[in-house]
Amino acid sequence: MATVADLATAIKQAQNLVFLTGAGVSTHSGIPDYRSKTGLYADQADPEYLLSHENLEAHPADFYDFVMQRMYYPQANPNEIHQEIARLCNQKGQLITQNVDGLDIKAGNQHVIEFHGDLYDLYCQKCGQSVSYQEYAQDYHHQLDQGIIRPRIVLYNEPINTAKLTASVATVNQADLIMIVGTSFRVYPFAQLLQYRGAAVPVFVINQEQIAAPDSVQMIQGDALKIFQELTEALQSC
């Protein structure tokens, strides 16, 4: 089991730090994760269908109700994890995030790949016109032509944007240190990105639970916010 001091030393030595993050980064901003007892999928018989391309096409009202009631938190603000990741990325790194809440960019991170898209990037499927969140919050029908509005996020049974996938693979390939933070690392192809790292590149994991990753990763298990608070102090002192 690795220590925060070990991680701080590795960060100091790194020239090209890459973060791979998930929902556990945003829970301290009041946004639920997906699979915990109080998460987005709690009490849902088939949550992956609710967030699928098929449900959007066949039952747009059900899709809309699910995302509006469970996924949008427009008042949420970046927490200390977002802020420290932004600081490090702006110095010498890149973030690839599964999160669709936009908080990393809101934190000022200038080096972000939003692997699954952004909930607030909305458009009409009929005419292609961009739509504001305020309009979507009123109705999922586009006022201009009654087309169905949707967020530009990757739904189940939809492919990852090719450009983002290519950029993510290249980013991981160039890393000399990788940090996995706040993710179960079960969603593919995101979890496959790790296979593109260099053979000798160290990987640290910060998460509440053990994740499905190679034995060579160095785990720091616990609450990500507390660990990042310790990490920030360690980086300032070393």
Q: Catalytic positions, please?
A: 116
Q: Give which of 144, 201, 158, 156 is closest to 177, Cα–Cα.
A: 201
Q: Residue 103 — φ and ψ, nearest 5°?
A: -70, -25
3-state secondary structure of 71: coil
Tokens, residue 209: 């639970």
Question: CA 191, 54, 49, 28: dihedral to nearest 10 degrees?
Answer: 60
Where does residue 185 fall: left (phi above 0), alpha (psi -120 to 50 degrees), or beta otherwise?
left
